[in-house]
Amino acid sequence: MLEELKERVCAANLELVARGVVIYTWGNVSGISSDRKYMVIKPSGVAYDGMMPEDMVVLDVATGETVEGKWNPSSDTKTHLALYRAFPTIGGITHTHSVHAVAFAQAGRAIPALGTTHADYFYGDIPCTRELTAAEVSEDYELNTGNVIVETLRQLAIDPLAVPGIVVKNHGPFTWGKDAAASVYHAVVMEKVAEMDLKTLLLNPDAGLAQYVLDKHYMRKHGPNAYYGQKQ
Number of structural domains found in the chain: 1
Residue 20, exposed/middle/buried by CB under 10 A (0-12, 13-18, 19+)? exposed
Tell me the pLDDT tens digit for each residue of 82-113: 999 999 999 999 999 999 999 999 999 999 99
In a domain, 232, yes or no: no
| Residue 126 contacts residue 166 (beta carbons within 8 Å) | yes
Domain residues for the domain of 136 are 2-222
Helix residue ranges, H only, 27-130: 77-86, 99-107, 116-119
Active site residues: 120, 228
Residue type, 135: A
In a domain, 40, yes or no: yes
Residue type, 231: K
In a domain, 172, yes or no: yes
In a domain, 57, yes or no: yes
pLDDT above 90 (res 64): yes
Give residue 214's pLDDT.
98
In a domain, 229, yes or no: no
Give residue 231's pLDDT.
78
In a domain, 173, yes or no: yes
CATH number at residue 42: 3.40.225.10
Rounded mean pLDDT of 204-217? 98
In a domain, 230, yes or no: no
**Separation between Cα atoms, residue 118 and residue 121, nearest integer Å:** 6
In a domain, 170, yes or no: yes
